[in-house]
Amino acid sequence: APLPPQEHEKPPAIANAELRINGKGKKLRKPRTIYSSLQLQALNQRFQQTQYLALPERAELAAQLGLTQTQVKIWFQNKRSKYKKIMKQG
């Protein structure tokens, strides 16, 4: 059966990672996403074309790669920040 489109539905707040607290007051994080080499290849390739994705582009890329839009968004944010850091070092 085809999966329903995820474009418009917001994930529950828990999906935003840190904000769940267990009994001992420790924050429970979502485990770190491990990207496949194929996903990384596609993300890096796209980043070389453009450092910023429009919403429809992000939705499409996420769907193609089997990732959530949030994962794609954060990967691009992290990549831009890493890229700027490298550029600053010369």
Quick one: pLDDT at residue 25? 72
The number of folded domains in the chain is 1
How confident is the prediction for the chain on average, in pLDDT? 84
Q: Are 15 and 70 in contact (CB under 8 A)?
A: yes
Quick one: pLDDT at residue 2? 56
For residue 82, tell me if it sits in a domain: yes
Assessment of whether the complete model's pTM goes beyond 0.75: no
Q: Determine the structural domain holding residue 70 and report its residue range.
A: 37-89
79 falls in which pLDDT band (50, 70, 90)?
A: very high
Q: What is the pLDDT of residues 18-55, one digit of tens each?
A: 555 666 777 788 889 999 999 999 999 999 999 999 99
User: For position 56, which CATH number holds?
Assistant: 1.10.10.60
> What are 15's two structure tokens?
């999906």
Q: What is the mean pLDDT of residues 2-7?
A: 52
